[in-house]
Structure 1
Amino acid sequence: MNWYLAKIVYRIHCGTDGDQHAQFDEQLRLIAADNETSAFEKATAIGTQEEEIFLNQNEKLVRWEFINISELYQLSALIDGAELYSRIQETDDAELFTEQVHRKAAHIQNNITHKILQLF
């Protein structure tokens, strides 16, 4: 059995798409499979099974549409600190991007602290 990292891509449709920017969700999933073909098929099955239609809090119809598997990598080993994914992000506002990264990190740290406090 081999391990693969698959990027599953969904398009998110909310209400009428004409009044919004297109939204996509890219998910990295760990897949156990005998070979690349089986890993691709398994990731595709996950993508299809997790398509969803529901009403959001504003009573607008939301539909998650599976697009496809855009990337598939075989992992040679699951070792501490191994790089699983990398993407170079270009932006016009470096300060804003840096600020967003710091906010996300602070959110993660706050959630960890909150979970630890719940244990006590």
Structure 2
Amino acid sequence: MKWFIAKIVFNISAENTLHKPQFDEQLRLIAADSMEEAFIKARVLGLNEEDSFLNDKNNKVKWEFINVAEIVPLKTTLEDGMELYSQIHETEEAGSYIHCIHQKAIFLRLSSKPSF
């Protein structure tokens, strides 16, 4: 049995809303004997986790499985600090992207501090 990281993508939509299209990209750990089996298992996970419900404004919210976007095999030996996943982003707004990353880091740092 080998380990794989699968990127599963969902479309999130809500009735009577004007927000931009939303997509949830989830990285999932998959145990499988091959890339093909990992892909099939990831698709089954995505299909099984489709959902719809009514939000607090009584609008239907729908999580629709789009597909498996990536399958990445993991090395057999895990080591502290090893790279598990990498993705290159291209943007016209480099400054905004860098600012967003710094803001996320600040949030992570503040939320990981113990509260007294």
**Given the two structures, how large is their TM-score scaled by the length of structure 1?**
0.83
List runs of 5+ in structure 2 lacking aligned partners.
Answer: none
Partner of 2:64: 65
Which digits, 9 at most, give the CA deviation of each residue in 1:1-21, with x for residues without a partner? 11001010111111157x443
Q: Partners of 2:111 and 2:19 in 1: how far apart? A: 31
**Given the two structures, how large is their TM-score scaled by the length of structure 2?**
0.86
> What amino acid maps onto 2:104 in structure 1?
K
Q: Partners of 1:111 and 1:90 in 2: how far apart? A: 28
Is the helix fraction higher in 1 or 2?
1
Q: Partners of 1:87 and 1:74 in 2: how far apart? A: 15
Partner of 1:85: 85
List runs of 5+ in structure 1 lacking aligned partners.
Answer: none
3-state DSSP of counterpart to 2:90: coil
2:96 pairs with 1:96: yes
> What amino acid maps onto 2:61 in structure 1?
V
3-state DSSP of counterpart to 2:105: helix
> Against the structure 1 CA distance between its residues 100 and 52, is the aligned structure 2 distance closer, same or farther, given a 3 Å change threshold?
same
Q: Number of aligned residue pairs: give it.
A: 115
Over aligned residue pairs, what C-alpha RMSD do you find?
1.8
2:56 pairs with 1:40: no
Post-superposition offset of 1:47? 0.6
Post-superposition offset of 1:99? 1.2
Post-superposition offset of 1:39? 1.2
Runs of 4+ in 1 over 6 A off after TM superposition: none
3-state DSSP of counterpart to 2:81: coil
Partner of 1:13: 13
> What amino acid maps onto 2:90 in structure 1?
E
3-state DSSP of counterpart to 2:103: helix
